[in-house]
Amino acid sequence: MLRAVIFDFDGVITDSEILHFRAFNAVLGPHDFELTKHEYYKDYLGMSDKDCFKALIGEGRLRIQETQIPALIRQKTQLFEQLARTEGQIIEGVREFLDLLAGARVPIAICSGALRPEIELILEEAVLRGRFDVIVSAEDVHRGKPDPEGFVLALQKLNEISLDPIAPESCIVIEDSHWGLKAARAAGMRTVAVTNTYEAAQLKQADKVVARLSQLTMADLRKICS
């Protein structure tokens, strides 16, 4: 039985992955390093900012100390916010899908590796903040995707405001990456993948794959949870 829907943010609600890529490279440039778009999407896109910087340091590609990471995250966040204010867009089909869930009174949450100010900024600009009952961001977890910690926490927070307990298998997670799908499945949740970032062949572990969220019906969602 469908009881809740949990969204990833970047690449699912907003078309901001490319903005994160540009902000990362702007911060990495002074350290004589640059990611290609291909390797960012292939190896780092699903990570939180902290995990991405740590991975680059661990691989020996970014020659700085881990103690410098918080400062890099602050710089990257400022750059991303500037880009988001001018270039951030809500992905086609999202508003219609949110209307569908609201009509069916399905609780909804966000579980993202993005920072809370980034999420709040884009939602406020799009007048969508009030649609979401719960937001779990990078600051709320110790381990980012593909670890299931964020999805487990999102469900815990949804249950704090629910009259009846919601089981993991009654939740559908909407994701655009294999990292997120792996995390959702590890949390015991059902999954829908949207091909905003990766092709369908790379998302085949999802219970259902769609090109746009507006293609989904309540019958589709209930079938996934049956």
pLDDT, tens only, 121-156: 889 988 999 999 999 999 999 999 999 999 999 999
| Same domain? 123 vs 34 | no
Cα–Cα distances (Å) from 180 to 65, 105, 186, in that order, read 28, 25, 10
pLDDT band for 15, please (50, 70, 90 cuts): confident
What's the pLDDT band for 209 if we cut at 50, 70, 90?
A: very high
Q: What is the pLDDT of residues 73-97, one digit of tens each?
A: 999 999 998 888 888 789 999 999 9
In the listed set 41, 65, 87, which residue is the last one of a domain according to the structure? Answer: 87
Q: How far is C-alpha 77 from the chain's CA centre?
A: 16
On whether the CB atoms of residues 216 and 99 are closer than 8 A, the answer is no
* Whole-prediction pTM: 0.83
CATH number of the CATH domain containing 47: 1.10.150
Which residue range is the domain that position 96 belongs to? 4-15+90-225
Lowest mean pLDDT among 15-19, 48-52, 71-75, 182-186: 15-19
Name the domain boundary from 70, 87, 104.
87
